[in-house]
Amino acid sequence: MAKQFIEPVHLTLAEEKKVEGPRKIRRALSSKEYEDILNVINNPPKAEMNDYLKQVIKESRRIKIVV
Partner 1 sequence: MDAFAGMDLRLEKLNALHNVLSFDCQAVYLNDFLQKVALSETLNDISLTYVLVGTNQNGSENIIGYFALEAEILYDREKTHGYAQIPVVHIKCLARHKALRGQKVGSVLMYQALHIVAQASALIGFAGVHLAFTLEGKSLYERFKFGEHPYGEHNMFLPISTVREYADFDTQD
The contact set with partner 1 (CB under 8 A) reads 5-11, 15, 18-25, 27-31, 33-34, 36-38, 40-41, 44-49, 52-53, 55-57, 59-67
Contact 29, 37 (CB under 8 A): yes
Task: Give the whole-angstrom CA distance, residue 33 versus residue 22.
Answer: 20
Task: Give the whole-angstrom CA distance, residue 59 versus residue 36.
Answer: 35
| Closer CB to partner 1, 2 or 22, in the complex | 22
Q: How far is the CB of 17 from partner 1 (least distance, A)?
A: 10
Q: How far is the CB of 34 from partner 1 (least distance, A)?
A: 4
